[in-house]
Structure 1
Amino acid sequence: MSKETYHHGDLRAAILAEAAVLVAQRGADGISLRELARAAGVSHAAPAHHFGDRRGLFTALAAEGYRLLAAALAAATPDFIDAAKAYVRFALDHPGHYAVMFDRSLYDDTDHALVEAEAAAADELNRGVGTLGDAKAKADPEGAALAAWSMVHGFALLWLNGAIDTAGDPIDTVERLGAIMFDG
């Protein structure tokens, strides 16, 4: 199937988009390359051609997720609360990517593109943490970064898994939690 005749325009992107949807619906263990090809409307060999195997697919999906997260965090103003809200919004808007990004058993964590994308996302989150005025956060920026990431990541996972009451607005809630944790 040539790129010119492919109806989606960008075969690799179309496969990744479909993979993200399927992972969000069923989890990573619930999809195969063959099923992914069928869902994306491409030949059964197309995913293997672009990604090699499931590990390659999930490596590419995680890298794409980290790039999207870095962009979302960069678009937020450099205030921690805005970065926290952007992080949670990303997790809720991209649950398939998010699930793969934080399951290292699925992908090759030494992949150059993945390592770069992950570092970019971490740099952006740390940029937000760097705006904290809390004296303890300023005295221990590494600890503050871990605390901040733990808060937003833990909250996002709890929300996505329905482990907490999801009746309210998650963005308002994470804003409230960030103020409790870092405004003294």
Structure 2
Amino acid sequence: MTSQRTYHHGDLRRAVLTAALDIIATEGPSALSLRDLARRAGVSHAAPAHHFKDRAGLLTAIAAEGYDLLATTLTEAPDLRERGVHYVRFAIAHPAHFQVMFQPDLYHRDDPDLLAAKSRTSAALRAGIEARSPSEDADLMGVAAWSIAHGFATLLLSHNLERTMGDGDPEEVFRALTRLTFRAS
């Protein structure tokens, strides 16, 4: 006679997302498997598929959540420079989201929730740019601002700035970087 264990998980979707974020933060997105996540959550191997369908669906949910978090973070900043600081702050606080968000080959690019979250993030960045420079160059300024913040955050997370920054606060180092970059000549 076999015993059948019944299991009820209060919020399996959140538990799987949290476990996936932990794995991504320590081992990277390539280490993810729905079967392993199910084992970690103590549920059947098919249970996560009810929420995410497949691995790409899980990564899509992570990317959409990341873009939502980033949009919120950006809208809390008073100006363009501080939006860059908030971008770096987001990357430090949510490194797993950050890794997934900018690897569109990992997820379903056409997912409606993802597209809506990306649109909110773009609007938050655009609002900071238009407040500073409402001109036809706003798109190029947006690319420049994003490139600086994203490049700095990526270098920071990949430990490529340790010698340069020392014990410096990443937010203050970023502010100094932007002051140097945009100093009037």
Taking structure 2 as the reference length, the TM-score comes to 0.88
Q: Does 1:100 align with 2:97?
A: no
Q: Does 1:156 align with 2:153?
A: yes
The match for 1:29 is 30
The match for 1:116 is 116
Q: Does 1:15 align with 2:16?
A: yes
Q: Does 1:146 align with 2:143?
A: yes
The match for 2:68 is 67
Q: Cα offset for 1:149?
A: 0.1
Provide the rounded CA distance (Å) in 2 between the counterparts of 1:174 and 1:129: 17
Q: Cα offset for 1:25?
A: 0.6
Alpha-carbon deviations, 1:60-108, whole Å to 9, x = none? 110010001111111222x012111111100111011110000011001
Larger radius of gyration: 2
Provide the rounded CA distance (Å) in 1 between the counterparts of 2:120 and 2:58: 20
Q: Percent identity?
A: 44
Which letter does structure 1 place at the counterpart of 2:28?
A: G
Q: Cα offset for 1:45?
A: 1.8
Gaps of 5+ in 1: none
The match for 1:182 is 182
Report the aligned-residue RMSD.
Answer: 1.8
Q: Aligned residue pairs: how many?
A: 176
Taking structure 1 as the reference length, the TM-score comes to 0.88
Q: Structure 1 runs of 4+ off > 4 angstroms?
A: none
Q: Cα offset for 1:163?
A: 1.4
